[in-house]
Amino acid sequence: MKISFEHLSTGIAKRLTAARKKIGMSQAVVAAHLDISRPTLSEVETGKRRLSANEFIRLAHIYNVSLDWLAGKDEVLLPVTTDGVLDKPFN
């Protein structure tokens, strides 16, 4: 099964936005943590810009979610704890 970049990018963009909103951070704050501009983060969240692998990993850490969840491999959002044990799913 071939998945297009546009399809994958849209799913990732929606998950990035949902994770950011779940922890209550603004685009400006997250962008500052990534050392990018707020408009650039907005382009990422709308699927218009691709993330580098480093940015993707940093966002997973900032949002405290797994890379698999951000990439759409896991359907349930599970917060990752510092000891590597997953907590209960977010509601």
**11 belongs to a structural domain:** yes
Residue from 26, 29, 7, 21 nearest 77 by CA: 21
Helices (H), 35-76: 38-45, 53-63, 67-71
Number of domains in the chain: 1
- 79 falls within a domain: no
Question: Average pLDDT for consecutive 10-residue bins of the chain (91 residues)?
Answer: 56 91 95 95 92 92 90 65 46 39
pLDDT at 85: 42
CATH number of the domain at 20, please. 1.10.260.40
pLDDT, position 78: 53
pLDDT of residue 86: 42
Question: Does residue 88 lie within any of the structural domains?
Answer: no
- For 55, the domain range is 5-71
